[in-house]
Amino acid sequence: MPEVTTPDQTANCILVDDTGTTRSIESESSASEICEAISHQHDVKRILVALGGAPAGESKLPVAEMFARALDADILFLHVLPRAVARQNDPISPAEARASAYLETVSARLHAAGLHAHGFVRAAASVTEGIVAAAREHSVDLIVLGLDVRGRVPRAFRQNVADEVARQTACPVVIVQPDQSARQAPVTRSFDEDSGRWGPLARWELGIRQVPIARVIGSVGRANEAVSGGNLQGSKLFLDTRRQRYLSVRSAMRKGVALPAVDLYKLGSGYYVVDGNHRIAAARELGQTEIDANVNEFVPLDDATAQRVFAERRSFERHTGLIDVDSAHYPGTYPRLQEYVDAYVARLEDADRTEGARRWYHRVYQPLVLAIHCRGLPRRFPGKQIADLAASVAAIADEEHLYGGTGDWHLVAERFVESAPRALARTDHAHGERASSRASAG
């Protein structure tokens, strides 16, 4: 077993094993003994870490990293949303988009540290229910929990929560005391803070494109003021001249006046406002689901996989003219989608490649993505982005000769779930040489 380096947070950690026995983790020797004991009783391959989004709860991260290194395990980050806010009329709600982006930033730092980590969002009636369901669905071998507390919580309560989770999941649970000196979760995410977790970034200009408003989850430089696409009432932006500015923008949009595109930064699957907070807030209030934006995307320089996927996506966009296809995590996804687009276009008799690709997007891709969301595939396959799932489900349809758009995508999605391996595919985020040539991705 690798040498165990114990983080400071273990001074406030308690292990509850699957028999209900508790044990404190107070030193490197006790941590090593516990890791060895766990490995003898369980073949630990997956560690589930519940994150609520508040900085105080991130005291769990060094502890989870310690166990992942010692046990050579993957980490699954889970964020549980109340069912009432998890889904609205759109495939993804603003709350789910913010949570997904947060989990991406947390995973990015661990990728840079050489670990395999993915995040997913789950809706449940309670956090406990969501944790137990996720642990069962993904055959988790160890769970790391924190206490989202305000003030003092009796020790008996802490143990009872862990005992209940351990009893229902039959796996060890580690409880980590949160850092109560940390600030509360931000109202809107900060690009400066989130980008810092990704390490050195390359900036690419994508130009004007339509962006889902639900995916606008933060702001650049004004995170303490902006509410990035939310309701501005009650915020500082709603005072004095800014209030008048917002009302003027909303009035213009109601009248159909053409306004300049907003400026956004893209990091992972989330977008951050550089300029246009009022326009985004007004668009959301008026029921718009998309907005025209001038987008600059940031890609990790030291992540060879991310650089490759970005280059493949740019090649796909140039070849098909489609710039609305979702993000991917795995290399090879966009080349496969391009093959499906070309095959679809080849069957058309009255359309060129550009027009045929647009038909494929509206008649095949969008119904497919809707089925992916309705069947809950993102939570069933952590790490796979929507485009990855679309390519995988489309492969099932292709094998069964249903790919022409005539198939029942909900049924095909279920067939994919039944046939897909449950093990997480590990992606090598090796620190390759920093990409410097724009020709490869531009």
Domain boundaries, the chain: 8-176, 186-300, 303-442
- Show contacts of 413-417: CB within 8 Å, 24+ apart: 413/371, 413/372, 413/374, 413/375, 413/377, 414/375, 416/377, 416/392, 417/375, 417/377, 417/380
Contacts for 99 with CB less than 8 Å, ≥ 6 apart:
53, 79, 81, 121
Cα-based distances in Å from 442 to 85, 226, 307, 313: 38, 32, 11, 10
Q: At what angle do helices 386-399 and 409-419 cross, to 10 degrees?
A: 100
Contact 51, 58 (CB under 8 A): yes
The predicted structure's pLDDT at residue 295:
97
pLDDT in tens, 197-231: 888 999 999 999 999 998 999 999 865 444 444 44
Write out residues in the chain with pLDDT < 70, as ranges. Answer: 1-12, 17-22, 25-31, 40-41, 84-91, 147-163, 178-187, 222-240, 401-407, 421-442
Instruction: Classify domain 186-300 by CATH number.
Output: 3.90.1530.10
Cα-based distances in Å from 133 to 158, 287, 394, 435: 20, 33, 28, 41
Contacts for 224 with CB less than 8 Å, ≥ 6 apart:
186
The predicted structure's pLDDT at residue 226:
46
* Beta-sheet strands, E only, within 17-146: 22-25, 46-50, 74-82, 117-124, 142-146
> What whole-number distance in Å separates Cα of residue 396 and Cα of residue 377?
14
| Single-letter code of the amino acid located at 103 | L
Residue 218 CA, distance from chain mean position: 14
The predicted structure's pLDDT at residue 246:
87
Backbone angles phi, psi at 206, to 5 degrees: -100, -15
Give the count of beta carbons closer than 10 Å to the beta carbon of residue 159.
16
Query: pTM of the full predicted structure?
Result: 0.79
Q: Is 195 helix (H, G, I), strand (E, B) or coil?
A: helix
Instruction: Classify domain 8-176 by CATH number.
Output: 3.40.50.620
Alpha-carbon dihedral sign for residues 427, 300, 190, 12? positive
Maximum pairwise Cα distance, the chain = 72
The predicted structure's pLDDT at residue 207:
94
Contact 75, 116 (CB under 8 A): yes
The predicted structure's pLDDT at residue 318:
95
Pairing of strands 216-219, 270-275: parallel
Of 122, 154, 115, the residue nearest 52 (C-alpha): 122
pLDDT in tens, 89-128: 456 788 888 888 889 988 988 887 888 999 999 988 888 8
